[in-house]
Structure formats: C-alpha cells, structure tokens
Amino acid sequence: MPAAGFGPGPGNGKQYPGNLTLYVTVTCMVAAMGGLIFGYDIGISGGVTTMDPFLKKFFPSVYEKQKADTSTNQYCKFDSQRLTMFTSSLYLAALASSLVASWVTRKLGRKLSMLFGGLLFCAGALINGFAQKVWMLIVGRILLGFGIGFANQSVPLYLSEMAPYKYRGALNIGFQLSITIGILVASVLNYFFAKIKGGWGWRLSLGGAVVPALIITIGSLVLPETPNSMIERDQREEARIKLKRIRGVEDIEEEFNDLVAASDASKKVEHPWRNLLQRKYRPHLTMAILIPFFQQLTGINVIMFYAPVLFKTIGFGSDAALMSAVITGVVNVSATLVSIYGVDKWGRRFLFLQGGAQMLICQIVVAACIGAKFGIDGEPGNLPKWYAIVVVLFICIYVAGFAWSWGPLGWLVPSEIFPLEIRSAAQSINVSVNMIFTFIIAQVFLMMLCHLKFGLFIFFAFFVVVMTIFVYFFLPETKNIPIEEMVIVWKQHWFWSRFITDVDYPANGAVEMGKGGDSTKYV
C-alpha cells in the first residue's frame, strides 16, 4: 500500500557521470532570477492596494467605503470586484501567453522565451508606474502577465534540463527562492514607499518592477542554451561541447546519445498537444493539472496577496500591516532555503506530506482564532495585541510549511517528469492551470471572505487534506532519477503502471529514447 506509492531510490536506472560545476551553478542562479518578476508582482500588488493615495486615485469607492466603515463588518471591507480585477487581470494574460510561450520555448529555445518574458514585463512595469487612469493600470497588468507567462514556462524547464540529476531539485528550487525574494523585496519597498510625502510612493512600487525585468532580460542574453533545446533544433555538435562544459567531464556520450534519441523521437510527434491525451501520458497529464490546481488551493495566495489586507483586518494599522507582510516574507525565504537543502536528501514526497500536515494544523488554528474574535458578524470588538500576534505566528508557521513543500515542489515536480516530446506542451498546461486558479482565487477571495468569513480557512484546509492524501497514494518519488529515466517511477508505481506498457517503453531500451527498435515507441 503506502510503500507501493514510492518510486525507486537513487540506485535505479542510469547514473550519468557529471559534477556540480561552478559554471552550471552560476548559470542556474542567473536563470532562476526569472522568478523575481513573479514574486515582486505578488508582493507589490497586495501592498499597493492598501495605500490610501492609490485607492483614492483609482478606486475611490473602495477608499470611501473603507474610511466610512470604521466599525462595520471587517470581513467585507475590501470586497470590490474592480479592485480584484486590477490584481487578477494579470493571471488571465499569463494564461494566454503561456500557450504561445509553449511554441516559442520548443521551436526557438528556452533563452528566447525568457527574453520575451523580461521585455514584456518591463513594458508593463513602465506603464503601471506612469498610470493616470484605471485602463492604463489594466493594460500594464496584462503586459506583466504576458511576461510572467513566458518566464514561468521557460525557467523551470531550463533549470531542470541544465542541472545534473543528483542536484536537480536544489537548483530548480532556485526559481521558487527567487519568487520568495521578490515577494520580500516588494514588501520592504512597499513599507518605505508608503511613507513618502505627497502620496506618490505607489508609483515607485509599481514602476520598480522594471528592475527584476531587466535582470531576467540581460540574464537571458548571457545565458547558454540547454543541450536538450540545442539538439531539438539540430545543433548537435554545439550541444555535445556544451554538455561537456556543463557536466564538467569528458564522458558524456551516454547522456548525449540518449538526448539525441529523445529528440529524434520527439520530432516524429507532430501534435504534442494531441499526443498528451494518449494513454501512456495519463500520469503526466494528471500531474500537470492536479499539482498546480492543488498548489493554488493551499490558500497561500490568499495570505501572500492580501497579507497586508489580512493583517489590517486582524487589527493592525496600515504600517503594521505592511510590516507583517515583511515578516511573512522573511519566513518564506528562510523556509525555501530549507527546501533547497533537503529536497535531494529527504525527497519530494517527505516534504509534500510534512508541509501538508503543518499547513492543515495552522489553518484550523487561524480559523478558530479569527472565528472566536470576529464571530459571524465580523465585529472584533477590542482586539488584544497578543491575540493578533498569535494569529500572525500561526500564519508564519503556515507560510513556512508551504515554502518548503507545495511552493517549490509545485514547480519542480512537473518540470522534471515530462518526456521531451511533450515537455513544452505539458509545462504550458501546468502554467495555464496555475494561472487559471490563481485568477479565480484572486478574483473571488474577498467575496468569499465576506460570505464564508473565518470558514474560508476551513475551505482551504479541506483541500490541503485532499492534496496530502493524493500525494501519499499517487505521487512517486522522483529524487535522484535522471529526466531521461523518469518513466521508471511510473512503471513501478502501484497505480500508474497500468497505463504504461512494455510496448510503449521496452525494458531494454533507454527510457526517454530508444536504442534499437522503433524509436517512436520511446518517450
């Protein structure tokens, strides 16, 4: 039963030679900076929507309701569809662009996709910084969304393809680390920009997104292309030289030949999107949909987007609200470092299960705390300082649980399990599902808070139970397995093995690629 849920350990399958070279470490660190644009935006949009001058200029009805509402229902203070449309329009744009980014990433390379992401994000940041009307804000947000769609499509794939398989987890989580650093930096900047006399600090907050955009734009120009992508575009000799440099050894023939065979097989697939529906890809498609779906239903975006709003509602002032967001940001970064340390040691499943249990306990405690004080009518009465501190403490423990489990692994696991010929299409589905549910949750959160009240945390706690059970039974362990050998974990799994036959993947061949026989039968 549970044991059957585990995939093979490090000893199974092939073990390609290769070292963790300084070259590949620096390369992955630069590429991972692509996460900064996503993180910065999450941190900034929540903070800016609590700044009075910003609300007064663009959303006066929300501002007036908030000022007039000093004693009314705390749950419904910020319920404005127009305000949430400002935040969540970005995710629809990211969803649309990720579909285009799939083609760009596959046909033109991972680097170019990152470059497009940086340039589009840069344009959006400038328009937002100089915005005079709500429509300018929305146009800016849409361009930011296009940029995020491209970056989230290409960066996780780039990291998984560049990293030696033994260190793939740690290097890939650099993307999530950048997201958390982006959130933290945004929270700190919001805190100081909100104090600027004259009320124009929000322009610096929104316009400041140009900096992470320039980092990924310049980074994409200096980064090398991945060998996988070079082979996919018929640059085989360059790919061989690049693979030697990346792995730091001369003996790369086995890995190189496997990549070439994988590429040859993938070229025979004319319709990767239609291909995804084949029975042998059922495990991959399931994970591409359910992992990002569950990642959004942990409730983390509720806390990180609206941390300032949440803390303001709990009873902190406007400054204290932003300061509390900084505190959760520090926790987020620190816990992600724990994940980088442990993901290739303890495995993906351990972190998923432990993080799920931790988040569940915290959500129940936070629901009880807020429910006891705010009750059904949302009137907190006199809120003692210690009470608010207890809520913030449990929110921080919750954020830590997410930051070493579903946060990084929600990007890592999908990016490492897809065979080459469906990799771009499947990653595009992964990003699209992520953005659809980020959009839905951002759009309805304040309305749900208004109607479900403290029950909102119970709502997300229910999904945490479901996703933890799903991981326990259906997600095999993928640590220390080369991407080219990943089919082993599905063939040995108690449930997924029924979808994968020896006809699809002959046992004597290399797994993402065929050695002998019809190579179209291999992944």
Return the higher-pLDDT residue of 131 and 501: 131
The model's pLDDT over 284-300, given as tens digits with 9 standing for 90+, comes to: 999 999 999 999 899 88
Instruction: Compute the mean pLDDT over every residue in the chain, rounded to the nearest whole number.
Output: 82
> Does residue 183 register a pLDDT over 80?
yes
- Count of beta carbons in the 10 Å neighbourhood of residue 119: 19
Q: What is the mean pLDDT of residues 408-419?
A: 89
pLDDT digits 0-9 by tens, 92-145 = 899 889 888 888 888 888 899 999 999 999 999 999 999 998 889 889 999 999
The predicted structure's pLDDT at residue 416: 87
**What confidence score (pLDDT) does residue 288 get?**
92
DSSP string covering 13-58, please? S--------HHHHHHHHHHHTHHHHHHHHHHHHHHHTT-HHHHHHH
pLDDT of residue 69: 62
pLDDT at residue 46, rounded to an integer:
75
More confident residue, 203 or 78: 203
* HEC letters along 305-362: HCHHHHHHHHCCCHHHHHHHHHHHHHHHHHHHHHHHHHHHHHCHHHHHHHHHHHHHHH
Report how far residue 234's alpha carbon sits from residue 158's, in angstroms, rounded to the nearest whole number. Answer: 18
Residue 140 has a pLDDT of: 93
SS3 462: helix
Res 29 pLDDT > 70: yes
d(CA 464, CA 213): 33
Model confidence band, residue 12 (pLDDT cutoffs 50, 70, 90): very low
Confidence of residue 360 (pLDDT cuts 50, 70, 90): very high
Cα–Cα distance list, 313 to 48, 75, 301, 458 (Å):
16, 7, 16, 18
Residue boundaries of the structural domains of the chain: 22-224+269-501
Map residue 286 onto helix, strand or coil: helix
Residue 73 has a CB neighbour count (10 Å cut-off) of: 15
Query: In this predicted structure, which of 147-161, 309-323, 351-365 has the lowest mean pLDDT?
Result: 309-323
| pLDDT greater than 90 at residue 349 | yes
Q: Is 427 helix (H, G, I), strand (E, B) or coil?
A: helix
CA dihedral 259, 110, 417, 286 (to 10 degrees): -130
- Label residue 11 by pLDDT band (50, 70, 90): very low
- Whether the per-residue pLDDT at 382 is higher than 90: the answer is no
Does residue 351 carry a pLDDT above 80? yes
Indicate whether 274 pLDDT > 50: yes
Top-level CATH class of 22-224+269-501?
A: mainly alpha
Amino acid at 20: L
With a cut of 70, say whether residue 10 has pLDDT above it: no
Buried b (16+ CB within 10 A) or exposed e, 290-324: bbbbbbbbbbbbbbbbbbbbbbbbbbbeeebbbbb
End-to-end CA distance of the chain: 28
CB 272 within 8 A of CB 422: yes
Q: Which pLDDT value is given to residue 14?
A: 67
Per-residue confidence band for 301, with pLDDT thresholds at 50, 70 and 90: low
Burial class (CB in 10 A: 0-12, 13-18, 19+), 149: buried
pLDDT in tens, 431-471: 899 889 888 887 777 778 777 777 888 899 999 999 999 99
Q: What confidence tens digit (pLDDT) does each residue in 235-261 have?
A: 888 898 888 888 888 888 888 888 888
pTM over 0.85: no
Mean pLDDT of 470-493: 89
Higher per-residue pLDDT: 234 or 314: 234
CA torsion sign, 101 to 106 to 108 to 114?
Answer: positive
